[in-house]
Amino acid sequence: MHSNVVLGTAVAVVAAAYAFKPKKSKTDLEAKSVPVPELPSYLPLQLDTTFSYIVSTLAGKDEMEYLRNMTSKYGNTVNFRGFNEDFIVLLDPSSIQHILAKNQPNYEKGSDFQDIFHEFLGSGIFNADGETWKTQRQLARPHFQTTEFRDSELINRHVDQLLRIIDRDLTANPDSPLEVQNLFCRFTLDEATDFLFGDSINSLEHENSEFSQAFNYAQSITAWRFRVPIWKYVLPTKKLLKSIETLDKFVYKIIDKAVARQEERERRQSSDEAGTKDEGHATLLDHFLSHQKENNFVDREYLRSMLLNFLLAGRDTTASLLTWTMWYLSQHPDVVVRLKQEIMQVVGPIAIPGYDDIKKLKYQKQVVNEVLRLRPPVPFNPKQSVEEDVLPNGYYIPPKTKVAYSAYVTHRLPELWGKDADTFDPDRWGPERVGSIKPFMFVPFHAGPRICLGQNLAYTTAQVTLTRLLQNYEIQPTPGFQPEPLGDIVMFSRNGVQVRIRKKNLADAI
């Protein structure tokens, strides 16, 4: 039988089954609340709305703007129902606060989310709920305390390498624009692997490393699983599993080295070498390994999942922030002038900025926050309800229902941010106006109990890097270039981000 006939028959059977499925009686809570408005659909299983979105994405259209247009038509709480499954998107700050803080235990990652990420991330913190998540977060928190990177030494070491690579590219191609998205992805991959593993990938020097290519592919195909409800039947898995094998090969080597390092440390402590100076500082991996050693076991698979989870959370988010910052600066020379003036006053033209310097760069922090508002690194965040619930606006949430918020759309709502919500304006974060920004209007790092552990590290990395770039280079637009925003797991540009960079000393530029 022809495959199209089989597919058509299957869809018809499923549609009929849903059409004649007996309706459940309403609960008391449901009867007293309001159902979330659904996106209009005219075909069984909402095939028209589901496939229009997929086709739009495949055509390269901006997914976040698609979502924004739909919510502007149908309201700030909308049910994007597909294949007869609810998918509720909410945008107002009170509802975001409800699911992330006030009633956070009722909104988990959920089984569907975990199924999508399982091969890639296992049971790591990004993909975990309940006690598994709590345990990993408690163990990781000390490593992300400000004191771990207060002197910015690790960050500056990798910025040194970044500047060398930029100088090399400028020497080889002085008249060509620089593709900064790829550059920053490599930079933050090196920094993150060093910070988390104690062993850098060195992808700045080796652009097409197997690890970085495998990591990028695993993330890309996993993102498509969110877009395609029947992903198990239509998306490739063979190449994904090969990519994960490449990741595992590298990560397990790192774990084995850490185990050997700990065993050597224990040997020294039990011998005459106890007073020998220990090499380096403890990595996140060392923290987790020490905890396992205390319990007399080493679970290499658990450690592998933990490392890849923190790498995903830390590497691409900071790369996204730096990429979009460079784009906005290339479009706003007046902002660059103010940034450079502040750097000259606080740091100087050539001094290496430390943590204390960064805290004094107030206008720079405003610029970074405005980039995070317009291009939040995680533009869309899905959850799943455990029990039925009612949002502060009165809408009913059924149990076991997908619920998501979009920082991208909330950050651009005119009723929250004014008529200039789409305008890049760092002064909205200045002392005169910042008081109008209320809680949960601005959620680039999530919020509530699951707020990003690496938030301070991301700010510090971005500001140290930005300071040193502006000490050394002029940033100019690339005529005719426009980025194509991609609302993936992390917000990047489909065609990269090109800016022109010219070598110039900060003191000569202002």
Give binding residues for heme as ranges.
Answer: 452
DSSP string computed for 126-183: GG--HHHHHHHHHHHGGGGSGGGSTT-HHHHHHHHHHHHHHHHHHHH-TTSPEEHHHH
- The 3-state DSSP class for residue 502 equals strand
Pull the structure tokens for residue 143. Answer: 């490593």
DSSP 38: B
**Could you tell me how many residues make up the chain?**
510
| CA torsion angle 432 438 444 449 (round to 10) | 140
- The 3-state DSSP class for residue 362 equals helix
Sheet strands (E) in 249-380: none
Q: Which of 145, 146, 151, 157 is nearest to 355 (CA)?
A: 151
Residue indicated by tokens 């309940």: 130
Pull the structure tokens for residue 252. Answer: 């397990």
Q: Distance between CA atoms of 86 and 67, rounded to whole angstroms?
A: 16
- The 3-state DSSP class for residue 52 equals helix
**Do the strands 34-35 and 473-477 form a parallel or antiparallel pair, or are they unpaired?**
unpaired
Q: Distance between CA atoms of 224 and 507, rounded to whole angstroms?
A: 47
* Burial category of 293 from C-beta neighbours within 10 Å (exposed 0-12, middle 13-18, buried 19 and up): middle
Pull the structure tokens for residue 458. Answer: 């991301």
Q: 3-state secondary structure string, 63-105?
A: HHHHHHHHHHHHCCEEECCECCECEEEECCHHHHHHHHHHCHH
Q: Distance between CA atoms of 313 and 146, rounded to whole angstroms?
A: 18
Q: Which residues are annotated as a binding site?
A: 452
